[in-house]
Amino acid sequence: MEEIIYQRDYTQYKQELRTELEKTSEGFVRIGYLLKVARDTEILIGSGYKDYLDFANGEFGLDKSMVSRFIRINDRFSEEGNSDRLLEQYKGFGYAKLAIMLRIPEVITEELTPEYTKSEIQAIKNEIDVERSKTEVMHLAENFENIMNPPTDSLLVRVLKAIGEENAVLFCKIWNYFSENTEWDGVKDIFKPIDQQTYVARVAGEGRVILIVKNEGASLTVARSEVKTSHSWEEIISGWAEIMPVGNGEDGHTFIKAEDAYEYIYGKPIEEEKPEVAPVQPKRVEVPKKSEPKKEAPKKVIKEPDPVEAEPADDSDEETERQCCDPEPEEVEDAGLLKNEESEVEEVKGEIVENEEDEVDPRGQLIVNVQITINRAKFRINEEVDRVNKRQQIQTQNLFMCRQELKKAIKEIEEVIK
């Protein structure tokens, strides 16, 4: 790479970088270039920043990962890898797409166009990541089948066959066209329903293969070896014709339907797509609610001069009444009152005396205690938040305006990405 030569002072340089951050077109490539200026030249001498990362974060709020991404985009997608100009073939992609394309081999990215969505590019990257994650042992195991039974078909035919197996609907459309027409040019419209169609197939012994179909033909790239080959539409149509068992099969079987042809080639029937059905809802069973025991009013005790012994009640009726009406805590409390009625009840003959102790509901007391604990926790949290906010406000006051400008620039870039 050529040495960077930059002939402006620090003030001019910072303003130039700020201007690029506010742009919404291909400014991210120039941003990467200007960050490389800060990294590779002495422009920051006397600025008060120790390095380009400290400068980018302090002035614009760019963290280390974002700075690295801008620089890598410039390395990969700028002219000669070290300029402030985006390569013509990558114009119109936007920052988000280029950031994903950094992890995709160049033999594939050079086939992509700005019409690809972010999710489509991400899907290609995910397939490549899966292939990269495989070990050499896994590769040898996949190649074992090819070693024992070397393939006789070309790689293109094997890829088309794998695509048909994964996409039974596509296979049936192409088979129906072959069986109904003598001119096969219409296969192009079926296999490439849009301007540029991408297929990813897994081929035994080769791993994942990316087939990008365009108007002029197709490019076939093996993700593992990054080897790419180009194919014309004549080759593609001939490949499909070689696969399709139109007419009679080798065993004399006549294929009337595409489903029969699919089963003949792949040795399995087409899996029927199950309609999405809402999950069965469990039957709603009404469960009778348990009646909560009624709280009794404070016991009233009448002190009679000559107590009369009450007749014993039936044990079963008494037990049933206690379970339905009297909670256990009150039974214990009442028992204590009866045992110590001389000390806890004023002995006033013929008068009604109420227990002076108020009845306490254990659940209600628990709720009160929990609420008190929550209120204390909220108070402490609010105190800590206020303290952190004050400290942060002091630390960020000087860089507030710069960050606001950066946010505005990033927002504009996001709008372009969308």
- CA 198, 203, 205, 207 dihedral sign is positive
DSSP string, 27-47: HHHHHHHHHHHHHHSSTTTTS
| Domain spans, the chain | 10-102, 131-266, 365-393
Percentages helix, strand, coil for the chain (3-state, rounded to 5) are 55, 10, 40
Interatomic CA distance for residues 327 and 331, integer angstroms: 7
Helix pair angle (10-21, 400-417), 10° resolution: 40
Tokens of 93: 């992609």
Q: What is the pLDDT of residue 300?
A: 46
| CA-closest candidate to residue 404, choices 91, 129, 22 | 22
Counting other chains too, the contacts that 409-413 makes at CB distance below 8 Å and 24 or more residues apart are 409/21, 409/22, 409/23, 410/21, 412/22, 412/23, 412/24, 413/24, 413/27, 413/28, 413/94, 413/95
DSSP string, 93-158: S-HHHHHHHTTS-HHHHTT--TTS-HHHHHHHHHHHHHHHT--HHHHHHHHHHHHHS---S-HHHH
**Which spans in 246-339 are helix H?**
258-266, 315-325, 328-339
pLDDT in tens, the chain (418 residues): 667 777 788 888 888 877 765 454 478 888 999 999 999 999 999 899 999 999 999 999 999 999 999 999 999 999 988 898 888 888 878 788 888 999 999 999 999 988 899 999 999 999 999 988 888 778 777 777 667 777 888 999 999 999 999 999 999 999 999 888 878 888 999 999 888 899 999 998 888 999 999 999 999 999 988 999 999 999 999 999 899 876 544 544 556 788 888 988 899 999 876 554 544 444 444 444 444 555 554 554 444 444 444 444 444 444 444 444 444 444 433 434 333 444 444 444 444 444 444 455 666 676 777 678 777 777 878 887 887 777 666 665 655 665 666 677 677 676 666 6
Residue indicated by tokens 């991210």: 28
